[in-house]
Amino acid sequence: SQTIHQWPATLVQPVGSPLSLECTVEGTSNPNLYWYRQAAGRGLQLLFYSVGIGQISSEVPQNLSASRPQDRQFILSSKKLLLSDSGFYLCAWSTGHSEAFFGQGTRLTVV
C-alpha cells in the first residue's frame, strides 16, 4: 500500500533562518506531488505541484521554493524565513488520475 511521510511534525524557526521540509512517498511510482499551506482556521492553499523529477510549478509568488530531486521525494525550502511563513504545511500525492492523499503535516512557527 502507498504511504506518505512528512517531517518534521513541528518546527520553530527564527526569522531569517533557512527552511527545509521533506516529504517522501512509498508504494507508488511517478506520483504527482503537492505542497499546501494552511493558515490557522483557514482552507488549503496550493503552493507547488510536481508531475515529475525536476518539474516544479509554483502557484503563488512567495518566499518559498520546492524541489523534486527524486521520483518520490519533494522538498519545500526557504533561504530566509519570514513571520508570514508560519502555518501548517501539508504534502500530498496523487497518481494523476485519482484523488490526492495527504501527509500528517508540519506545523511551522516562525518567531
Partner 1 sequence: GQQLNQSPQSMFIQEGEDVSMNCTSSSIFNTWLWYKQDPGEGPVLLIALYKAGELTSNGRLTAQFGITRKDSFLNISASIPSDVGIYFCAGANINFGNEKLTFGTGTRLTIIP
Q: Which is nearer to partner 1, 15 or 63 (CB)?
A: 63
- Residue 42 or 80 having the CB closest to partner 1: 42
Task: Verify binding: residue 46, partner 1, rule CB under 8 A.
Answer: yes
Does 98 bind partner 1 (CB under 8 A)? Our answer is yes
Rank residues 65 and 101 by Cβ distance to partner 1 and give the closer one.
101
Site string (25-44) toward partner 1, x via CB under 8 A: -------x-x------xxxx
Contacts 24+ apart (CB under 8 A), 4-10: 4/91, 4/92, 4/93, 4/101, 4/102, 4/103, 5/103, 6/90, 6/91, 6/103, 6/104, 6/105, 6/106, 7/106, 8/106, 9/104, 9/105, 9/106, 9/107, 10/106, 10/107, 10/108, 10/109
* Chosen residue from 5, 8, 15, 59 binding partner 1 by CB under 8 A: 59
99 is an interface residue for partner 1 by CB under 8 A: yes
Task: Establish if 17 lies at the interface with partner 1 (CB under 8 A).
Answer: no
Residue matched to cell numbers 518539474: 55
